[in-house]
Structure 1
Amino acid sequence: MGRPVGGSRQAPLRTADVARASGYSPQQVRDLERLGVIPPAARSGNGYRSYSPVHVQALRAYRGLADAMGPVAARHLLTRLRTGTVAEAAAAVNEVHVRLAGERDEALRAQRALDAIGAEAHTVASEEEQDGDAMTITELAGALGVRPSTLRFWEQEGLIIPERVTSLRARRYDLSAIGAARIVTALRGTGYGIPAVREVMHSLHRLDGREETRHILRQRLDRIAARTIALLRAGADLAAVVDWSAHEEPRKDQ
């Protein structure tokens, strides 16, 4: 193995040592190595695995990433961090921060849309007013980060109702429909299935329905905050993996 992160060499670690330090079981350590989450362990003459501190750091980083973005995406990201350039690794981590910030912004917009539903004038936040009185399906899909086909599906399911303003029946979404689409996006992001979302959307013009939806959106924001904290906690270990890889593994810029 190459030098451990942090400077001086240390005695090789056994699978049990890595498991104890990372909080995973020995079998999970072997499985995550097989999946490429951690670098391949060195092998001794008798075939036993020999690990270094970077394997522990990679596993800790994986735990935080899995909490922040899910296990599959976390595995892919760690592979990118170990095989891309340092600049690419930094950009990949930044993308996760940006994605979480975007989810938070969208949940806050959904909250404002929900508040607007209860307002007598049915106004929306000034930010949306500045965006214009309506959006095309392409514009709204881009703003929400979904595909136009997703908006069409939501329409078929009775979740949002666009305006149709041309002879070609091109969809345009007024402020009310934009607000509804933001709420649907937030609910779907929270894990609600279509029937549950439909029930929530049909309840929005009742006070108890708005309160329940407001509670759901607060939970959504709390979960995004927890995922962001998990990513921040993984930061030092992620940096250690990138630093180790820059010195030990062949990279694109070498």
Structure 2
Amino acid sequence: MQPRLKTHVKALRPVDLARTAGISPSLVRTYEQVGFLPAADRSPNGYRRYTDVHVEALRVARCLIAGYGWQRALQVMRAVHAGDSAAALAVVDACHAELHRQRAQIDETLRTLERISRTQTRAPRVTAGRVVRIGAAAQLAGVRPSALRFWEEQGLLQPTRDGTTRSRYYDHEQMQRVQIVALLRAAGYRFDGIRSVLDDLATSRPAQALAALEQRRRSVQRASQQTMHATSALNGYLQNSVELDQPMGVGDHLTT
């Protein structure tokens, strides 16, 4: 279903549209070419003629970039301008789901560290029947198996190895380390800083690890607010700037 843009009287040049966002006219043209903006009409002499729909599309696109990132924002805007609401909503849902996953992982690791802090003892090792192999360990942490191998090379992990197959196995203690390393890497920590946090845990001093995870949780909170703002802007754009041949149901979906 292809969207029909509402009819507007005033035509804007690329420089006029650029001024509304404080960017260059060449960047406006690039936004149109890649799909952040709907295609502009052309005057008889070939000049682009933008409207206030493009002004709103530009505002929303930049908001989506801040909330979803460049790649996902472009996927959303392209889908909207192609009339594919299902594809746009799938990207939006994925953004919110990823933040939820990060928040849940942080909260779970914080609970573990707080328990360690209270007991001042290291978590007991689980039985051999409860260890996991590298693929499952990577999936639980939301990273690739190659990341676990690299972190092992850096001395951050010490999985047990099968004497015959040399397969890696991760027990409860190693999985705690995997989660902590993954979160600290996502927060931008270098390996030296991660080693320091892990050393604190190994010596029953988890205060630094707790502080790092609290910082990461605040970062996710800020990202969640930006994503929510982006979703709200998208909802307004769909409702106010685009006419469809029939209702998409987008407004109801995004406001529930």
TM-score normalised by the chain length of structure 2: 0.77
Tell me, in whole angstroms, the C-alpha distance in 2 between the residues paired with 1:77 and 1:158: 41
**Residue type of the alignment partner of 1:29:** V
Tell me, in whole angstroms, the C-alpha distance in 2 between the residues paired with 1:95 and 1:228: 13
1:251 is matched with none
Identity of aligned residues (%): 32
2:219 is matched with 223
2:91 is matched with 92
Structure 2 counterpart SS, 1:204 = helix
Tell me, in whole angstroms, the C-alpha distance in 2 between the residues paired with 1:222 and 1:149: 28
TM-score normalised by the chain length of structure 1: 0.78
**Residue type of the alignment partner of 1:82:** H
Gaps of 5+ in 1: 249-254
- Structure 1 residues 136-145 or 77-86, which shifts more? 77-86
2:199 is matched with 202
| Superposition RMSD in Å | 3.1
Deviation at 1:175, TM superposition (A): 1.3
1:192 equivalent in alignment to 2:169: no
The Cα offsets for residues 47-67 of structure 1, whole Å up to 9 and x where unpaired, read as: 332223332333233323322
Q: How do 1:149-164 residues align onto structure 2 when only pairs under 5 Å count?
A: 149-164=146-161
1:177 is matched with 174
Q: How do 1:32-181 residues align onto structure 2 when only pairs under 5 Å count?
A: 32-83=31-82, 85-118=84-117, 119-123=119-123, 133-165=130-162, 167-181=164-178
**Residue type of the alignment partner of 1:172:** Y
- Structure 1 residues 17-26 or 159-168, which shifts more? 17-26
Tell me, in whole angstroms, the C-alpha distance in 2 between the residues paired with 1:211 and 1:226: 23
- Structure 1 residues 27-36 or 225-234, which shifts more? 27-36
* Count of aligned pairs between the two proteins: 238
Tell me, in whole angstroms, the C-alpha distance in 2 between the residues paired with 1:62 and 1:201: 41
1:213 equivalent in alignment to 2:209: yes
Tell me, in whole angstroms, the C-alpha distance in 2 between the residues paired with 1:148 and 1:142: 8
Deviation at 1:98, TM superposition (A): 0.5
**Residue type of the alignment partner of 2:34:** L
Deviation at 1:116, TM superposition (A): 4.1
Gaps of 5+ in 2: 246-256
Structure 2 counterpart SS, 1:13 = coil
1:194 to 1:53, Cα distance in 2 relative to 1, 3 A:
farther
Structure 1 counterpart SS, 2:5 = coil
2:251 is matched with none
The Cα offsets for residues 181-238 of structure 1, whole Å up to 9 and x where unpaired, read as: 111111111122334333433343457x633332222221112111211121122432
Structure 1 counterpart SS, 2:165 = coil
